[in-house]
């Protein structure tokens, strides 16, 4: 099994960039299908809590442009 996995990996790494990206996306998507139901529930509750805080005025949102600019600056 390990040898066949290594052979497959070696072949995959020789693919053109676009094909490797597509393969990587499909492999990652296949993992996402096994999402933990409890985790999904917790994320949904967190999102609802944050939305309620925004609507009530308890917190103030930050414009997306500013967040993106700050993130780009941090990774340079």
20-70: pLDDT as tens digits = 999 999 998 888 666 677 888 899 999 999 999 999 999 999 999 999 999
Residues 48 and 71 in one domain: yes
Residues 68 and 43 in one domain: yes
Residues 43 and 24 in one domain: no
User: Which of the 8 DSSP states describes residue 14?
Assistant: T
Domains: count for the chain? 2
* Residue with token string 């040898």: 3
Residues 18 and 42 in one domain: no
Give the per-residue pLDDT at 1: 60
Q: Where are the alpha helices (DSSP H) in 1-76?
A: 2-13, 17-32, 37-56, 64-75
Higher pLDDT, 12 or 38: 12
Residues 70 and 49 in one domain: yes
Residue 27's domain comprises: 2-32
Q: Are 61 and 54 in contact (CB under 8 A)?
A: yes
Give the per-residue pLDDT at 34: 63
């Amino acid at each position: 099994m390990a040898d066949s996995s290594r052979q497959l990996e070696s072949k995959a790494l020789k693919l053109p960039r676009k094909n490797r990206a597509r393969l990587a996306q499909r492999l990652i998507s296949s993992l996402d299908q096994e999402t933990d139901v409890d985790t999904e529930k917790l994320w949904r509750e967190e999102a609802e809590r944050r939305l309620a805080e925004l609507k009530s005025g308890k917190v103030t949102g930050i414009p997306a442009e500013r967040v993106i600019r700050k993130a780009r600056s941090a990774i340079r």
